[in-house]
Amino acid sequence: MTVATLIANISNSEKEALIALYNSTNGAQWNTTWDITAPIDTWNGVKIENNQVTELNLPFNNLNGKLPVQIGDLLNLKKLNLGFNGLTGEIPTALSSLTNLESLELFMNKFEGEIPTVLGSLKNLKSLKLYSNKLSGNIPSSLMELTDLEELLLGSNYLTGNIPNEIYALTKLKKFSVMDNKMDGEIPTEIAQLTNLEELLLSSNQFTGDLPLEFINLTKLNTIMVSDNNL
């Protein structure tokens, strides 16, 4: 198969979504930029399989600006990593269209507003990393429907409210962090049901009550941080 036929088979909507991302995040100033006149399979961070864009990896690349709604047209994405950039605005609800996503990494940016409830529709997610942004509001209970999650990292934001009791449903969870937020309430004993948990980072919040004795059941836990709370 020639490059020409390969490129011709990538859907127009996928190509336009990539160009929209380039335009809305100041692509000309990226650390490693794209020559958008060149074949897409030469574009840095774009992985193509079977004429479909399956991964977009652009960490540490000086993306500045807002994510365009067209990002939701990359319907075959399994991995989206835009960590360590300067992205602003709210996390677009259009991401809920990416139902094949297994990894969504938007950490170390400047995203504001609440975590979109619609992310709960991404049933294939194994890793959700939104730490070190400016996100506010509660953790949506819809995230507790992502039963394949192995990593849920929400630390260093401005999140408030409680840890949802429904967290017991995330039976595959290995890493859970809400450290350095403004969350309160008691630490739910339901976390003790997450027997695959290896890291539990709850420090620097306003949690009250006791650390549940049931946590003794978490035999795989090797890191637990609960300092700087009101326990």
Model pLDDT for residues 30-70, shown as the tens digit of each residue: 999 999 999 999 999 999 999 999 999 999 999 999 999 99
Average pLDDT in the chain:
95
Q: What is the pTM of this model?
A: 0.95
Banded pLDDT at 139 (limits 50, 70, 90): very high
Q: Which residues contact 187 (CB under 8 A, 6 or more apart)?
A: 163, 202, 207, 209, 211, 212, 226, 231
pLDDT of residue 208: 97
Determine how many CB atoms are found less than 10 A away from the CB of residue 209: 12
Per-residue pLDDT at 6 exceeds 70 = no
Mean pLDDT along residues 202-216: 96
